[in-house]
Each structure stands twice: as structure tokens, then as C-alpha cells.
Amino acid sequence: MSAAESGKNPDDGPGYETLAEITKAMKEAGVENCGLIFGIDYTISNKLQGQKTFDGHSLHDITKDKINPYQEVICILGETLEPLDDDGIIHAYGFGDRKTKDKKTFPLKPQGECEGFAEVLDVYNEMTPKIRMGGPTNFAPLIRKAIDIVRKNQEYHILVIVADGQVTSEEETIQAIVDASCYPLSIVVIGVGDGPWNVMNDLDEKLPSRKFDNFQFVDFHEIKATARSPQTAIAIEALSEVPEQYKAIKKLKLLENM
């Protein structure tokens, strides 16, 4: 699979073409294992963001005969990321619902953490129909929750945020991303739905100086539409900056200085 087929712009950085290549690069960078944190966007804009990309349905629509984008991302990243997680524990949170709004997060599993992505998917399927979507959209509470987890566990983590991209609390989100660069934490945002993605695409350029480039955005549907092997391409794109991020974390001694 070429870089073009994988949905990767050759000018964006290392042109990983297979999962084996990126796995090797991660090991060479020193990533033997890591903690995983998963965040799901429950803002009300999800009801309208599937007009083009999900046959007009809500992005959280759950039926037996069709998998929604959130379920698809959980499955794809579960297969890719789970082998990196030594204890199998996934910290899974929702945000943007009618109760927490843009101020807090809530655990997707009411009691305890999820054991593997299979349970993340099971809990998502069980809880989503009960959740009342709200807003506005703010990634900051989730990012700060991730920082707390990293500080407590004193281990490198990858935070995956699956969202429809309609960030309304942009300044708070930017500040949280900047603050997170003081910790061994990579942030990957998987954009699902119709977009537009101008905020996500421009976010890196608007960010003030950080300790390291800790943020990666992946346009889920664009990659699916252009890649020969969409699942592989999405997984590669999601992890494409992790090797360099981890090298920067080691160079800055962020794990040692916690």
C-alpha cells in the first residue's frame, strides 16, 4: 500500500505503509507498553453530523444491521492499540452529554475500568441509548482527566478522542493541549461525521509553544474514502506521530520528572 493509498500525505512525516513498520518504529523509539484512555463525544451535534457520511442517521445510532462510526473506531483501534497495553485496562469516558455538558467527563462503565476494547464496545453499546446528548463541545475536561491518570500511574499514555469536530470551547481546549505537553501523553483525535474540520486541521498551527508536538488529528471518513485498506490506513495514521512523540518525551525526561 502506497502512502497515497493509505491516505497519508508524503510531506506529513514518516511514510509508514504497514502496521508492521509503525510497530517497529514504536519499539525502536522505546514504546514497549503504554496506558490507554478513550474518550467519546456525546454532544448533540452528533445527531446532525451523519447527513453525508452515515446516511442521515445520528453518528451514535445503534442498530443490529449497521455499525456506526464510533463502533468502527473502537474496533479498529482496539485491534491496533490493545497489544501495547500491558495490563489490558482501558480508561473510557464520555463527555458533552446533557449532564456533564462542557464541564466534566463521566466514566463510560459505571463501576471500574474496561478490561480491553471488547468491553469498551460492549459498554458503549449498552450505555449509549441511555445517554442524552448535550453540549457544548470542550475537550479540556477529558484532556485534564487524562493528565490526572498519567500523574497517578506514572506511565506513558495515549489518549484517543473520537468526536464530530464541532469544538466550541476552543481556547480551553488549546490550553489543555499545551498543558498536557508537560506530561508523557499523546493525544489523537479521530474525527467522525461530515465536518467541517477547519478547527481540527488548524489546531496545530494555532497552538502556542509546547514542550513537544503532542497532538494528531485523523479525518476518519476521508481516509476511509481514499484508502485501499481503510482500517489499516486509519490505524497507521492514528499512530503515525507516536514514535517521534515518545522520543521527545524521553529527551525531555517527562517520565523521569513526574
pLDDT in tens, 66-99: 899 999 999 998 888 888 887 889 999 999 999 9
Q: How many residues does the chain have?
A: 258
**Domain 33-251 CATH class label:** alpha beta
pLDDT in tens, 210-249: 999 999 999 999 999 999 899 899 999 999 999 999 999 9
Q: Can you spell out the DSSP letters for 198-238?
A: HHHHHHHHH----SS--EEEEEHHHHHHH-SSHHHHHHHHH
pLDDT in tens, 119-171: 999 999 999 999 999 989 999 999 999 999 999 999 999 999 999 977 888 88
Contact 238, 158 (CB under 8 A): no
Q: Please tell me the distance from the alpha carbon of residue 175 to that of residue 140, in angstroms, as a whole number.
A: 8
Percent helix, strand, coil in the chain (nearest 5)? 40, 15, 40
Confidence tier at 196 by pLDDT (50, 70, 90): confident
Q: What's the mean per-residue pLDDT of the chain?
A: 89
Break the chain into its structural domains and give their ranges: 33-251
Q: Are strands 157-163 and 35-41 parallel, antiparallel or unpaired?
A: parallel
Contact 239, 204 (CB under 8 A): no
φ/ψ (deg, to 5) at 99: -85, -50
The mean-pLDDT minimum among 38-47, 192-201, 236-245 falls in: 192-201
Alpha helices in the chain (DSSP H): 19-29, 69-81, 117-127, 140-153, 170-180, 198-206, 220-226, 230-239, 242-251
What is the four-CA torsion angle of 245, 246, 250, 251, rounded to 10 degrees? -30
